[in-house]
């Protein structure tokens, strides 16, 4: 069981790469386990879809402005370092959406909430599927 720790509410600067920024933030604040939520807008992004049969990610590159309608995920420890694992739903100008594992994203604006959890959830590589999941 984890207990709630500090809550961080902040904005990510324009043109930052979102995953790198969140990872740096987690390292600076020494966050070992946490819950991540965000909304905003992105200049471009790459999403991943995990093919369960082939056990590999397929990538969706989006090279246009999109709304970040929802980002949710977690921070855990992977090989001794904070690891940000988030999924996103992004909306295009025509109202269509894409969703999946957020691989990278160039920020236009992003408002982020991180709730730290006391303790440390460690990720281990699973034999079945090769994914990194909580121990």
Express each pLDDT in 75-129 by its tens digit.
988 888 999 999 999 999 999 999 999 999 999 999 999 999 887 665 555 666 6
User: Domain range holding 85?
Assistant: 3-134
Beta-carbon neighbour count of residue 9 at 10 Å?
Answer: 9
- Specify the number of domains making up the chain: 1
Cα–Cα distance between 41 and 109 in angstroms, integer? 5
pTM: 0.88
Closest by Cα among 19, 62, 12, 20 to 40 = 12
Of residues 70 and 117, more confidence is placed in 70
Can you give the CATH number for the domain in which 22 is found?
3.30.1330.80
């Amino acid at each position: 069981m984890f207990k709630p720790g500090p809550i961080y509410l902040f904005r990510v600067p324009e043109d930052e790469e979102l995953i790198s920024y969140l990872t740096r933030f987690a390292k600076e604040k020494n966050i070992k386990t946490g819950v991540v939520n965000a909304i905003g807008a992105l200049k471009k992004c790459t999403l991943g879809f995990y093919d369960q049969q082939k056990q590999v990610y397929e990538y969706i590159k989006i090279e246009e402005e999109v709304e970040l309608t929802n980002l949710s995920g977690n921070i855990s420890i992977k090989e001794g370092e904070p690891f940000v694992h988030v999924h996103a739903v992004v909306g295009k100008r025509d109202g269509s959406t894409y969703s999946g594992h957020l691989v990278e994203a160039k920020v236009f604006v992003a408002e982020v909430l991180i709730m730290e959890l006391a303790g440390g959830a460690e990720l281990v590589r699973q034999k079945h599927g090769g994914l990194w999941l909580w121990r």
